[in-house]
């Protein structure tokens, strides 16, 4: 028995803890403050870099606190999760009260609350209250709900209200945030992203996954038909454009141009223009310069083809290519790697950097060899992702904006029009308004209603 | 014919004049000076808008052709225009002129900063990643939002000064509206600003997805906009807590504005990051 009461108390206490706005204020501020850390400490860098920057002591602390992958750390995710629980509990906790306010049988109108309200507008008119009752009634019935007439000694009051449902606005916002969280969760669980370098003319249907060496297949193949870069007069790039063909079952199903900021979306895959580069074509020219006579002989060559050196001095085969060849710590840029077999002696490797034609002079052979007339091919670097969370996230965005508009710019309002005979035939009319959930802007609403009523009375007089 | 940069330098000067008249109007409770302030503010804002349109035309003349919202200079000039528009709307709606001095001063400072040689006012071409309609909505939302939040900050400062004063109803403090009005004005400005920075955050996410294939990546600029957003969300909720009206809300508004400033200017100082704006 005792046990039971305690457990009820405990669960009540947990519920109340999560139902409080105080907790959400604390959580939101904590999230704001902790988020700062990840912007001060660079994320996802090499451990050695951190060690150098922060020293052993701080490095150890930062590592324990997971500051290097802060937004993915358990404690940051826990804060976010707590915020979501907070929203759910808080909303459920209040919804029943709000629901009762939104759907009561009859609203309660109390004249004294309107009297106390700071929002009034009064004017005089030459008509009698009785004469005005019908047009005023019609106006209120047309524009407000739950209208009620209350008769007084020398006149009457007409009450009406509208916008009760706008109290749901905050719930709509909170719902959208939960939906957003769901979308982000779906993205992180089921989304993935990869990269594909596709030379012009080639076709491929696999990509390399990000942060791993694994390759995954696509549900279709991509062929790159062309790639081009456009520049501004200043030399700054203006546009990167790939012409892609989407191929299924050996048939081209679609041809599309891909540029930055305008991805191709196909069968749940999103294809982005990400990078580009050049790879050497199959053919190039080898130039042999006689180191004594300076005489030059050039020969057309291609990858893997064996070529005789001038004067029967041996043979050479270009075997490989590197875009950024590293020679003793220097980046030589695009470089061909070849094997030279002299007519007498052992074969030896030869480095032929395209941009340094004199490099081979270092070897001090009979000939200096360099590569020219390289026929490059462009490749386009495609980023390809699949993210089933996106529709959910974007839906939450739309709902959130509507929620804000409802919460911020619409309100639950009650209006009271009082018509009181002042002297003889004339009537004093007072419009007043309140916002039961204390929304600003009542004054403006009251002025608008008063303006309309004045016009209606004017029309009534004229007819 | 005048070019947009010289229009903007005249406009800077006129914002300065507006600030001066608003200040006179406030200190001496002079309606005439206040009206002159409003006139100068209207002229400056209209001139600023004209400068914006002209610069847009100029981008076509140099062969780039894009809305001038692509670098720090252009964004500062757009901010001052947004400031003028938002402020004039508030003045019209609330019939309050005392914050005019702050609004004009903020616009003046933004433009004075923009005119520093180090900012660079040349028209630059737009790199491929920035060529997006989402970027336009994104930047416009943010700068109108920032203008509203800057005004909210000014009102909060007035609130704090008036609230701390021993005799808030005498002297020039007496010319400020009551703390109740200031409190409501802060709230109205914050909700407007919050709505717009939310729109900015959302359109930024949609744009990032189109350009880079991800709607969120925790890069410092993104993270700082989220921090700002959290702070203003805190402010809206703190209102619902008993005892958190007035002073403490004003403090959060000041904190939020500090976050806005850092998101705009400070993020570029953080390590390992290239930022466009
Ligand atoms: C990032 C998360 C959140 C955002 C953006 C958000 C947004 C909002 C907004 C804009 C309002 C309207 C405020 C106003 O009327 O001035 C609101 C109201 C409210 N929020 Fe949140 N909220 C968030 C999280 C939470 C959490 C975690 C709770 C949990 C306690 C909560 C509880 C409330 C309550 C009780 C209201 C008042 C509802 C009413 O007026 O009936 N919110 N929220």
For A363-378, the pLDDT digits (tens) are 888 889 998 888 888 8
Report the C-alpha gap between B210 and A270 in whole angstroms: 9
Mean residue pLDDT of chain A comes to 88
- Spell out the long-range contacts of B43-47 with Cβ–Cβ below 8 A and sequence spacing 24 or more: B43/B14, B44/B11, B44/B14, B44/B15, B44/B17, B44/B18, B44/B84, B44/B104, B44/B107, B45/B81, B45/B84, B45/B85, B45/B88, B47/B7, B47/B10, B47/B11, B47/B14
Is A276 in the same domain as A194?
yes
Residues in A touching B223 (Cβ below 8 Å): 35, 38-39, 71
Q: Is the CB of A90 under 6 A from ligand 1?
A: yes
Threshold 0.90, pTM exceeds: no
Number of helices and strands (H, E) in chain A?
A: 9, 22
ipTM of the complex: 0.92
Say yes or no to pLDDT of B36 above 90.
yes
C-alpha closest to that of A32 among A86, A80, A72, A64: A80
Q: Across the interface, do B205 and A397 touch by the CB < 8 Å criterion?
A: yes
Is A451 in the same domain as A383?
no
Give pLDDT, residue B85.
Answer: 97
| A399 inside domain | no
- What average pLDDT does this structure show over A396-420? 93
Report the C-alpha gap between A143 and A288 in whole angstroms: 94
Give pLDDT, residue A4.
Answer: 53
- What average pLDDT does this structure show over B250-277? 79
Which CATH number characterizes residue A443's domain? Answer: 3.30.310.80
The architecture in CATH of the region B1-116 reads: Up-down Bundle (1.20)
What are the tokens at B158? 């007035």
Which of B229, B237, B249, when mutated, tests ligand 1's pocket best, judged by the most ligand atoms within 8 Å of its CB?
A: B237
| A301 inside domain | yes
Local structure of A117: helix, strand or coil: coil
Q: Across the interface, do A35 and B223 touch by the CB < 8 Å criterion?
A: yes
Of residues A178 and B130, the one with the higher pLDDT is A178
For A39, the closest of B129, B214, B220 (CB atoms) is B220
Q: What sign has the CA pseudo-torsion A222, A223, A225, A230?
A: positive
Of residues B246 and A290, the one with the higher pLDDT is A290
For B231, the closest of A32, A42, A233 (CB atoms) is A32
Give pLDDT, residue B273.
Answer: 42
Mean residue pLDDT of chain B comes to 90
Q: Is the CB of B195 under 6 A from ligand 1?
A: no
Q: Across the interface, do A39 and B267 touch by the CB < 8 Å criterion?
A: yes
Say yes or no to pLDDT of B274 above 70.
no
Of residues A31 and A237, the one with the higher pLDDT is A31
Give pLDDT, residue B272.
Answer: 45
A-to-B residue pairs, Cβ atoms closer than 8 angstroms = 110
Is A214 in the same domain as A257?
yes
Cβ-proximal residues to A335 (8 Å cutoff; 6+ apart), any chain = A321, A322, A325, A351, A352, A353, A354
- For chain A, give the percent of residues with pLDDT over 90: 41
| A49 inside domain | yes
| A63 inside domain | yes
For B199, the closest of A238, A259, A401 (CB atoms) is A401
- What average pLDDT does this structure show over A209-218? 86
Q: What is the pLDDT of residues B83-98, one digit of tens each?
A: 999 999 999 988 889 8
A70-to-A177, A178, B222 alpha-carbon distances in Å? 21, 22, 15
Is A319 in the same domain as A272?
no
The residue whose two tokens read 């330098």 is B9
The DSSP 8-state label assigned to residue B32 in this structure reads H
Say yes or no to pLDDT of A184 above 90.
yes
Q: Is the CB of B231 under 6 A from ligand 1?
A: no
Of residues A342 and B78, the one with the higher pLDDT is B78
Ligand 1 atom at shortest distance from the alpha carbon of A19: 30
Say yes or no to pLDDT of A53 above 90.
no
Is A384 in the same domain as A365?
no
Q: Across the interface, do A408 and B195 touch by the CB < 8 Å criterion?
A: yes
Of residues A440 and A121, the one with the higher pLDDT is A121
Quick one: chain A helix, strand, coil %, rounded to 5? 40, 35, 25
Give pLDDT, residue B276.
Answer: 45
Q: How many separate domains does chain A show?
A: 4
Look at residues A354, A389, A424 and tell me which one is the last residue of a structural domain. Answer: A389
Residues in A touching B213 (Cβ below 8 Å): 193, 263, 270, 272, 274, 383, 385
Cβ-proximal residues to A108 (8 Å cutoff; 6+ apart), any chain = none
pLDDT band, residue A5 (cuts 50/70/90): low
Report the C-alpha gap between A93 and A86 in whole angstroms: 10
- What average pLDDT does this structure show over A277-305? 87
Which of A20, A30, A82, A87, when mutated, tests ligand 1's pocket best, judged by the most ligand atoms within 8 Å of its CB?
A: A87
| A401 inside domain | no
Q: Which of A376-380, A405-409, A437-441 is least confident?
A: A437-441
Give pLDDT, residue B227.
Answer: 97
Is A241 in the same domain as A385?
yes
- What average pLDDT does this structure show over B111-117? 91
Say yes or no to pLDDT of A84 above 90.
yes
- What average pLDDT does this structure show over A123-135? 86
Q: Across the interface, do B241 and A21 touch by the CB < 8 Å criterion?
A: yes
Cβ-proximal residues to B149 (8 Å cutoff; 6+ apart), any chain = B189, B190, B193, B197, B232, B256, B257, B260
Name the residue range of residue A221's domain: 188-280+379-389
Say yes or no to pLDDT of B260 above 50.
yes
Contact indicator for B49, B40 with CB cutoff of 8 Å: no
C-alpha closest to that of B84 among B126, B50, B123: B50
Say yes or no to pLDDT of A3 above 70.
no
Is A250 in the same domain as A298?
no
- What average pLDDT does this structure show over A7-33? 90
Say yes or no to pLDDT of B164 above 90.
no
What is the pairing mode between strands A330-331 and A335-342?
unpaired
- What average pLDDT does this structure show over A322-342? 87
| A155 inside domain | yes
C-alpha closest to that of B124 among B55, B206, B175, B189: B55
C-alpha closest to that of B188 among B141, B140, B156: B156
Q: Which of A190-194, A280-284, B155-159 is least confident?
A: A280-284
pLDDT band, residue A81 (cuts 50/70/90): very high
Contact indicator for B176, B107 with CB cutoff of 8 Å: no
Every domain of chain B and the residues it spans: 1-116, 130-277
What are the tokens at B154? 């000014």
Say yes or no to pLDDT of B271 above 70.
no
| A336 inside domain | yes
For B237, the closest of A28, A261, A405 (CB atoms) is A28
| A59 inside domain | yes
Q: Which of A337-351, B120-134, B219-233 is least confident?
A: B120-134
Say yes or no to pLDDT of A68 above 70.
yes
Report the C-alpha gap between B200 and A407 in whole angstroms: 18
């Amino acid at each position: 028995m005792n046990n039971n009461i305690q457990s009820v108390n405990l669960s009540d206490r947990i519920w109340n803890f999560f139902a409080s706005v105080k907790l959400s204020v604390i959580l939101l501020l904590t999230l704001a403050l902790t988020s700062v850390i990840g912007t001060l400490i660079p994320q996802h860098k090499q451990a050695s870099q951190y060690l150098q920057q922060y020293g052993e002591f701080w490095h150890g602390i930062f590592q324990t606190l997971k500051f290097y992958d802060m937004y993915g750390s358990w404690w940051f995710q826990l804060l976010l999760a707590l915020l979501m629980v907070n929203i759910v509990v808080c909303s459920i906790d209040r919804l029943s009260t709000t629901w009762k306010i939104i759907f009561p049988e009859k609203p309660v109108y109390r004249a004294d609350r309107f009297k106390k309200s700071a929002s009034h507008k009064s004017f005089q008119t030459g008509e009698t209250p009785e004469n005005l009752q019908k047009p005023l009634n019609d106006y209120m019935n047309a524009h407000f709900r739950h209208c009620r007439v209350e008769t007084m000694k020398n006149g009457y009051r007409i009450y009406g209200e509208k916008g009760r449902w706008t109290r749901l606005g905050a719930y709509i916002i909170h719902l959208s945030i939960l939906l957003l969280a769901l979308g982000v969760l779906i993205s992180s669980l089921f989304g993935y992203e990869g990269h594909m370098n596709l030379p012009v003319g080639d076709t491929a249907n696999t990509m390399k996954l990000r942060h791993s060496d694994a390759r995954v297949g696509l549900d279709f193949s991509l062929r790159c038909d062309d790639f081009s870069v456009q520049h501004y007069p200043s030399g700054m790039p203006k546009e990167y454009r790939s012409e892609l063909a989407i191929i299924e079952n050996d048939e081209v199903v679609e041809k599309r141009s891909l540029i930055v900021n305008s991805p191709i979306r196909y069968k749940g895959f999103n294809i982005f223009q990400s990078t580009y580069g050049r790879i050497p074509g199959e053919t190039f020219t080898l130039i042999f310069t006689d180191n004594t006579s300076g005489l030059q002989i050039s020969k057309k060559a291609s990858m893997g083809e064996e070529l005789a050196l001038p004067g029967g001095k041996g043979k050479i085969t270009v075997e490989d290519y590197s875009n950024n060849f590293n020679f003793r710590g220097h980046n030589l840029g695009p470089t061909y790697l070849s094997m030279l077999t002299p007519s007498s002696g052992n074969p030896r490797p030869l480095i032929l950097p395209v941009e340094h034609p004199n490099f081979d002079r270092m070897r001090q052979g009979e000939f200096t060899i360099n590569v020219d007339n390289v026929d490059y091919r462009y490749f386009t670097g495609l980023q390809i992702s699949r993210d089933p969370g996106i529709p959910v996230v974007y839906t939450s965005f739309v709902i959130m904006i509507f929620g804000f508009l409802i919460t911020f710019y619409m309100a639950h309002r009650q209006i009271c029009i009082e018509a009181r005979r002042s002297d003889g035939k004339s009537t004093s009319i007072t419009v007043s308004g309140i916002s039961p959930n204390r929304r600003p802007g009542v004054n403006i609403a009251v002025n608008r209603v008063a303006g309309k009523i004045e016009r209606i009375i004017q029309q009534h007089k004229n007819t | 014919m005048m070019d947009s940069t010289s229009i903007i330098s005249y406009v800077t000067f006129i914002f300065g004049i507006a600030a001066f008249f608003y200040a006179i109007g406030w200190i001496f409770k002079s309606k005439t000076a206040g009206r002159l302030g409003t006139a100068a503010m209207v002229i400056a804002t209209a001139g600023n808008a004209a400068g914006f349109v002209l610069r847009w035309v100029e981008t076509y003349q140099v062969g780039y052709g894009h809305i001038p919202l692509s670098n720090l200079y252009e964004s500062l000039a757009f901010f001052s225009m947004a400031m003028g528009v938002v402020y004039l709307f508030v003045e019209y709606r609330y019939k309050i002129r005392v914050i005019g001095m702050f609004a004009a001063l903020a616009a003046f400072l933004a433009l004075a900063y923009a005119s520093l040689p180090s900012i660079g006012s040349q028209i630059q071409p737009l790199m491929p990643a920035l060529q997006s309609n989402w970027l336009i909505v994104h930047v416009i939302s943010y700068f109108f939002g920032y203008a509203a939040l800057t005004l909210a900050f000014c009102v909060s400062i007035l609130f704090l000064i008036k609230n701390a004063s021993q005799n808030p109803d005498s002297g020039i403090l007496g010319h400020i509206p009551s703390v109740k009005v200031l409190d409501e004005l802060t709230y109205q400005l914050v909700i407007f600003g919050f709505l717009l920075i939310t729109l900015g955050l959302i359109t930024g996410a949609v744009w990032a997805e189109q350009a880079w294939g991800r709607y969120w990546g925790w890069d410092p600029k993104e993270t700082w906009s989220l921090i700002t957003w959290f702070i203003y969300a805190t402010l809206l909720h703190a209102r619902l807590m008993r005892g958190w009206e007035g002073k403490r809300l004003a403090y959060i508004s000041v904190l939020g504005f500090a976050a806005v400033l850092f998101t705009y200017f400070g993020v570029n100082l953080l390590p390992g990051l290239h930022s466009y704006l």
